[in-house]
Amino acid sequence: MSRAALLVTHTGRRQSAAHARQVARDLLDAGFEVRVVAEDIGDLELPPGVIAVDGPDAAEGAEIVFALGGDGTFLRAAELARPAKAPMLGINLGHVGFLAVAETGDIDQAVQDVVEGTYTVHERLTLDVRAEYDGRLIADSWALNEVTVEKGQRAQMLELLVDVDGRPLSRYGCDGVVCATPTGSTAYAFSAGGPVVWPEVEALLLVPISAHALFSKPLVTAPTSSFAITVDPYTFFAVLCCDGRRTWDLPPGAQITVKRGELPVRLVRLAPRPFTDTLVAKFALPVDGWRGNRR
């Protein structure tokens, strides 16, 4: 039975293209069918034998999806891997790379682990989101990190009513709200003042952005909870965004529903690594503290 892998990389970076070529050669030598998204293949100068694929079924039947780049590349690859239920392996060629499990110096070992099948797969919770206005569907999408509803005009405050589990929670005058997964707790939600949640925890997060309200604390709810966000009919238009990649304009009066996604994203784990170690490494946390630097 043939084995197949899909490669997704950042074609605008020379270093990423070089690594993609090496990974493609190694996988071809190991007998893999190697696929690359058609729009990328011309910029990568890949070895003969690589197959150009296109459309939402690019990862269908693939054993694994390689994401070579930063978190943006990983999120792009997730759009292809998730519907095919294909596990993803992120190799960080960007800056922080919170979603990656390997760094540049680990590429050869990562490919070897895939070839030998010495890896495990675990699932990450996702979000499903729908936006409607006056009985009309505006958006039906999903997110791995976060769904945001933000103001569409820089100079104007947005008025939002937030319901949790079908009950009204609060009305915010704000720049917006972030609905996040534990995976996304270290992304936009973190920047907005939300808590860091370990990826193994099943929960949903709601973080107001610059809210002018007495109660504006971030919330952590059950994974079975749902959020309903209503753009006040007398306010200005808003913008819905999923993972910073897919956006829709929301008119005043629009209603947005966010809940746990039906399909998770499957991630490859090469070797056990405590999330604490990842947090310290990615954020360069001062474990010794500034007091330890005294002479």
Q: How many CB atoms lie within 10 A of CB 7?
A: 26
Among residues 71, 128, 175, 243, the one annotated as catalytic is 71
Is residue 101 within 8 Å of residue 111, measured between CB atoms? no
SS (H, E, C) 85-129: CCCEEEEECCCCCCCCCEEHHHHHHHHHHHHHCCCEEEEECCEEE
Q: Which CB contacts under 8 angstroms, 24+ apart, belong to 197-205?
A: 198/275, 199/124, 199/275, 200/275, 202/125, 204/127, 204/179, 204/180, 204/258, 204/259, 204/260, 205/178, 205/179, 205/180, 205/181
The Cα 190–Cα 184 span in angstroms is 8
Give Rg (Cα) of the chain: 21
- 113 tagged catalytic: no
Active-site residue list:
71
